[in-house]
Copies of this chain bind each other. A is one copy, B any other.
């Protein structure tokens, strides 16, 4: 018996889709690189031999995917953007909004993710990177006296450094995306917490412990501390019923 031919569902290919494909392909091949400009809409009309509506629909798709940006009046035409995680973040945020994704799931993911990254980082880190980590701790301590946003930023720098040390930009992107979504959900609550200063101090303390464990080369301990830190920091915003699930993630 021969294998059945596996037909594909037939769906008409819209003209604007083929334009999107062509531009994305050119980008993948390197014929188009970030910073370059696309021809003006009217010029694209001529090149693709379609109407302006069609070209514009293609541009809207590309724009919503973070590939290009059009600015009215700019004689240089639409700009090819460098990749950013904002489009990814938008997708995940949508996923979260439709409520198929709860805050506790996001946090659980971050605990797992960040723990794994720290474990890897504690093996791969160089002495110089250890110094860098110490420096971010100092920055966090200084930021406490400024305001919560500053502290949040310093905390972000710490986690980005960890992701970089683990030599995997996907981890970095992933952290970035999920962190952004989480903060989007609860940043307002955090900023108005009455004891925010105490929280920040405790968080700083935890981070210092993590760095100590990394210095000692104890990846397990570092990861565990990181998860504990994340839990302590955010658990208050999670319904009691779901806290247990998260707490179970702390131990490995």
Show the binding face of A for B, using Cβ within 8 Å: 3, 12, 16, 24, 27-28, 53, 56-57, 60-61, 63-65, 67, 72, 83, 87-88, 90-92, 94-95, 97-98, 100-101, 105-106, 108-109, 112-113, 115-117, 119-120, 123-124, 147, 166-171, 173-174, 178, 219-220, 245, 248-249, 251-252
Contact = CB atoms under 8 A, between A and B. Distances in A.
A64 B252 CA distance: 40
A167 B247 CA distance: 13
Nearest to A52: B53
A217 to B, nearest CB: 13
Contacts of A90: 65
Which of A60, A106, A147, A171 is most buried by chain B, counting CB atoms within 10 A of its CB? A60
A52 to B, nearest CB: 9
Dominant SS at the A interface?
helix
A1 B249 CA distance: 43
A98 B27 contact: yes
Closest 9 CB pairs of A and B: A109-B170, A28-B97, A61-B64, A57-B60, A116-B116, A112-B116, A88-B91, A108-B168, A60-B60
21 contacts: A3-B147, A16-B60, A27-B98, A57-B57, A57-B60, A60-B61, A65-B91, A83-B94, A83-B98, A83-B100, A87-B91, A91-B91, A105-B169, A108-B168, A108-B170, A109-B168, A112-B116, A113-B113, A123-B248, A124-B248, A174-B174
